Structure 1
């Protein structure tokens, strides 16, 4: 093997190990929207040695900035969100069962019989969302989806006093259980809860790591945001603090390549393993044409095949970041994710690696990139 080939192979292996290492640690935590403290602590710990400056704002957003070597360089922000869909403890029943309130967009169909973490002030307690035994189901039961208001969490308690002794309080966050595990054998496809968007956070940490020993050609600020799943709230707070030339979001998006999607009849839109996606539009933003062109050019320069995302039923932090600095050119890189907002989300590692390479190429090309919506001189 030639030395350059060996170096490239070694670099790719390092990237793979780095991404998986970050992702494994990040998805092990419980952090529904508004309760991202544990995730923010870990992100801060991991980002601090990779950045020139880090801070945490009042919303819990973590900012990590790596300065360009020269003055007057362009400034870019790239955001990924730390929060996950989940729940809060709404009530504690007299017989020790917990009732839940939703935080973010979970689907009632997938909730029964799930393992969950109840995160108290001092510990995490394992619980299960109860499901009526198949032996006790009535015909009416079989014909309906149980609404989440009727569901309950069993933490093994016999009374409300038992629950209190465990340290559970009203409002405590609750999240799915789901450690990172490879599907099958040698597939490169991994399942976990909260891949949306801890996988994006892992990619951005790996992006910072590429500039550990060399300054980027632009000033790069990475924002690990809070409360994305409940309305891009953390990114809104972050945008008010940013003075940048261009903004990007990195997030997961809904793959439609499984047997239960209508896209298999009409034609697939977003597939696992087909490369990261460059967003065209969603309900929160229409990609700036210059940024979209720049992302496509970056993908081409990096030799990465990309997909094109047009999905009205989704939004990302780009929808808030576009309002930074009185309005900035904004775009999004997405990664296809199966079974979104469940405990068994599935992502292809090659797509995450591709997203990293596209973002890296975009940052390297940004100094000379035309970011104008139109040229005033040519109009």
Structure 2
């Protein structure tokens, strides 16, 4: 049976950056919050060949530890989340349609007429979120956004028994369909669903590869987390379990460089962004200083992010132990929480280099909140 979710041959055959190759594989999978099993397996498989120790905790987080070249050094937690926004099957109607319950922050405006995967115990079923045919719309229909509780998925079933016979059960996860595809020709800008935050996971896997033969100067706890989109829950488990001296989250953030907006705050291709604040955290000043110095050392363009309407795993990781310096590196992403998110490979490689330079400087980095006068 052919894989209906494989990218076109032209995309598969071209030489790719490691981070893009990892991202291509990760976005093929379906894993709304709480149903990340397929992504957990994929990340565990890759990380197991690169790290000194890999485990999956009770929550579902994948933790890969790459030890420093010498004992007794600092420890860094690097986190990216594996889950995506999506849905669960809430109801199977008598005629075989599936009603949905949201998981995470999707926008009702964009949901009708989208293709989705319904992941059953046995397989994935292709479905479409139904929408009234244009010929049947009333004027009131044209002015109305259909709320998500009224939406349904059509999997071609003729009855509830038919849908159940296909393996559908209440609670099954549902996610957008998508493969990683380059926009235009030679742009280096890619679209897919779940770029938030499979792209962050791809960067961390590429960073792990960098230290495959040469250990880093600090011990790194790579945390691929679950349930970030519903409250940073996986990262909270990490914060309660693993000790570290500093923590960074790597996540996507909302670009506003499209025609709907005026002067932009974050743009594609402008380099990774240094998080200053969001609703989950105010980045620690020592982390911000360290990331800025790392960007200068590596000649990396750096944007500044101040965005209240977003949160990252850094908001949970800052509570590690008695509290540790924490911050985040963000990558601008267009059309977030949609099936057509867009990211620029230059921003991903910039984030990779920024993390690498930060790690190289971390052994001697001043992590104090503020230097106090001894007098």
Consecutive unaligned residues in structure 2, runs of 5 or more: 1-13
Match of 2:329 in 1: 333
User: Does the 8 Å CA contact 1:16/1:353 hold for their aligned counterparts?
Assistant: no
Q: Are the structure 2 counterparts of residues 378 and 272 from structure 1 closer, same or farther at C-alpha, using a change threshold of 3 Å?
A: farther
Consecutive unaligned residues in structure 1, runs of 5 or more: 1-13
Q: 1:368 aligns with which of 360, 364, 369?
A: 364
Asked whether 1:49 is paired with 2:52, we answer no
Residue 242 of structure 1: CA displacement? 1.2
Asked whether 1:283 is paired with 2:279, we answer yes
2: CA distance, partners of 1:92 / 1:16: 42
Match of 2:79 in 1: 79
User: Does the 8 Å CA contact 1:114/1:176 hold for their aligned counterparts?
Assistant: yes
Residue 17 of structure 1: CA displacement? 2.2
2: CA distance, partners of 1:15 / 1:294: 33
Match of 2:253 in 1: 253
User: Does the 8 Å CA contact 1:81/1:224 hold for their aligned counterparts?
Assistant: yes
Per residue, is there more helix in 1 or in 2?
A: 1
Residue 376 of structure 1: CA displacement? 4.0
User: Does the 8 Å CA contact 1:15/1:353 hold for their aligned counterparts?
Assistant: no
Shift >6 Å, 4+ stretches: none
1: CA distance, partners of 2:328 / 2:265: 17
Alignment of 1:54-65 (within 5 A): 54-65=54-65
Deviation string 1:9-31 (CA, Å, 9 cap, x unpaired) is xxxxx995211110000000000
2: CA distance, partners of 1:55 / 1:300: 35
1: CA distance, partners of 2:214 / 2:112: 49
2: CA distance, partners of 1:243 / 1:148: 41
TM-score (norm 2): 0.95
1: CA distance, partners of 2:374 / 2:338: 50
Alignment of 1:286-305 (within 5 A): 286-305=282-301
Match of 1:39 in 2: 39
Residue 130 of structure 1: CA displacement? 0.3
Report SS of the residue matched to 2:47: helix
Alignment of 1:1-379 (within 5 A): 17-261=17-261, 264=262, 267-378=263-374
1: CA distance, partners of 2:83 / 2:308: 21
1: CA distance, partners of 2:260 / 2:17: 33
TM-score (norm 1): 0.94
Residue 83 of structure 1: CA displacement? 0.1
